Structure 1
Amino acid sequence: MPLQPADVEAAARIRDAERARLDAAGIGGELELVGGSSVTGALTHGDIDLHLRVPVAEFDATVELMYDLYVDVKREIWQPTLAAFERIGMPPVGVAVTPLGSEHDERFSRSWTLLRAHPELITEYNAMKRADDGPDGPGYEARKSAFFDHLVAIDLDDP
């Protein structure tokens, strides 16, 4: 998909619809809109990224329940505190599941809070997205990981 500006309102409606699906399946937790579609001015490939934050004691059971609604994806990045799922369709909807307070929970939360609060970081984010090999290129995942490593390491007064 070509890069396009984020439509935060449309992405929020999709988040709300996914929240209703999760509720109907008995899956709790805090569902946050993250990814390029969550920040005005950010570029996105049109997919919607969500972050499901669950209590530590509910993480494993939540991951099992997710299989009723989504397919697992990116198994190579799964960790004891991170699972990734996707709803196949248009637009694709990815859901990262993390236990509250875990390293991955903090990484998602801090990164997107910083991007929303500091427009200059959106310029860097968009440059990372525009790099020559695109989202399917061999360097994209490493470049994206390095960008988010940078975000969580920087020390800004707010937030």
Structure 2
Amino acid sequence: FPHASLCAIDLSPDYIRYAQKHHKAPQVSFLNANCESLPFKDECFDAVICNNLFHELPAEVRRQVFKEVHRVLKYQAIFSITDSAQLGDNASIKSSIENFSKDFYEPYHQNYIQDDLGKIFEQCGFLLGKSQTFLFSKTIYGEKV
């Protein structure tokens, strides 16, 4: 997509500074912002992609981010999430997923792995698309309806 403009967002100003220093593509802007309250007009994006965000959030914040993404997406735009696999995604890695939060001190991970992302997509106004798990990661997407 050579003519696409991209906006990368992170809550950490240090991560934003690092990205600005190391990634100089003119079509990419970097913004320090909170995903619970995005500084954008309604219906201004064709897609939103979140990587490794949702296991870092408490359940109520997770839902608020879904609602906020829905607000900034255009009709029929795509919301894609890639994050940790969850319980029920792959039985062979169940114990590893369950122990991750203890081994790496991830306070919201235990709740995240039990949360039903598909249900949240639907409750927040998305038509649920495909979900795919690869090793310890999961990608799931929905279309704004």
What TM-score, normalized to structure 1?
0.28
Q: Which has the higher strand share?
A: 2
What TM-score, normalized to structure 2?
0.30
Q: Which has the higher helix share?
A: 1
